[in-house]
Amino acid sequence: MPSLKDLKNRIQSVKNTRKITKAMQMVAAAKLRRAQDAAEASRPYTERFNAVLGGLAASVGGSDTAPKLLSGTGSDQTHLLVVMTAERGLCGGFNSNIAKLARAKALELKAAGKTVKVLTVGKKGRDSIKRELGDAFIGHVDLTEVKRVGYDNAQDIARDILARFDGGEFDVATIFFAKFVNVVSQIPTAQQIIPATFEAEEDAGASTLYDYEPSEEAILADLLPRGVATQIFAALLENGASEQGARMSAMDNATRNAGEMIDKLTIEFNRSRQAVITSELIEIISGAEAL
């Protein structure tokens, strides 16, 4: 049985830990509001941008002059998986869930005889992926020194991916991130960005009302690279909000668990102290009777 001093030290240690987790919860809550606003503000633009590209892509169809980013290379043998996670931990299952989805996709592709390459964004994703898919690892984007992720960061990542595509390093690119829903729900998501894919428009005939100058192919050739950067930026914003939401939830759970542990240790401390006092009283009474 631990001594009273040991129990007292443990109680104080857990109290200090609870102060830290409570402070981290409050910081995450403050950051969450800004990150959530940024993620939600980006969604209308991203959806409308993709709708415009989808309309142009539908009008081009399977034309031989369609940009390579839309038509693809004609093969799907080599896949690039861009795994986007956080630079820090202590955010519950946020990082592990994204990495788990990417690993499952990689194993599925390998089982189908495909070649898999992995590019990571975020230190936690790199550490997790390298353990099981080290042979497929081809690069990492470090955002440790970035205080607030901006569109410039997304453009840098997009340029790297596009350069690899132009160099013939892969045929299909998919990004993995967490879509923010609320504080307790962040959905790991896989989204193909090369070749570009678009959801069908509700009014498929609307594109016939427009004449494009220059041609649809020329417009797509200019907009598709921006579309890749836009999708990556939207994913980074979703990840930012999801990370803060997951951290806030994890630190709240840790704070409550620390409180429960303090209560249990306090009860154990009181019982041990009562046992010591009882033992000392027995010794005093026994000594008095012996006299």
Per-residue pLDDT tens digits for 46-101: 888 888 888 777 777 666 677 888 888 888 899 999 999 998 888 888 988 999 99
Residue 2 has pLDDT above 80, yes or no: no
- Pairwise CA distance, residues 155 & 161, whole Å: 10
pLDDT attached to residue 20: 94
CATH number of the domain where residue 218 is located: 3.40.1380.10
Look up the domain containing 78 and give its range: 31-248
Q: Is residue 270 part of a domain?
A: no
Q: Is residue 26 part of a domain?
A: no
Point out the residues that are catalytic.
91
- pLDDT, mean of residues 126-142: 84
Q: Is residue 281 part of a domain?
A: no
**pLDDT tens per residue, range 176-201:** 999 998 888 899 999 999 888 876 55
- 119 beta partners: 82, 139
Residue count of the chain, please give it. 291
As for how many domains the chain has, the answer is: 1
- pLDDT, mean of residues 108-126: 90
- Pairwise CA distance, residues 265 & 6, whole Å: 10
Q: How many CB atoms lie within 10 A of CB 173?
A: 24
- Pairwise CA distance, residues 85 & 81, whole Å: 13
- pLDDT, mean of residues 255-261: 93
- Pairwise CA distance, residues 221 & 12, whole Å: 63
Of residues 92 and 207, the one with the higher pLDDT is: 92
CB 221 within 8 A of CB 196: no
- Pairwise CA distance, residues 61 & 169, whole Å: 25
Q: Is residue 56 part of a domain?
A: yes
- Pairwise CA distance, residues 123 & 291, whole Å: 73
Q: Is residue 255 part of a domain?
A: no
Range from 86-95, 99-108, 153-162 carrying the lowest mean pLDDT: 86-95
As a whole number of Å, the CA-based R_g of the chain is 28
Q: Is residue 22 part of a domain?
A: no
Q: Is residue 9 part of a domain?
A: no
Q: Is residue 181 part of a domain?
A: yes
pLDDT category at 207 given cuts 50, 70, 90 is: very low
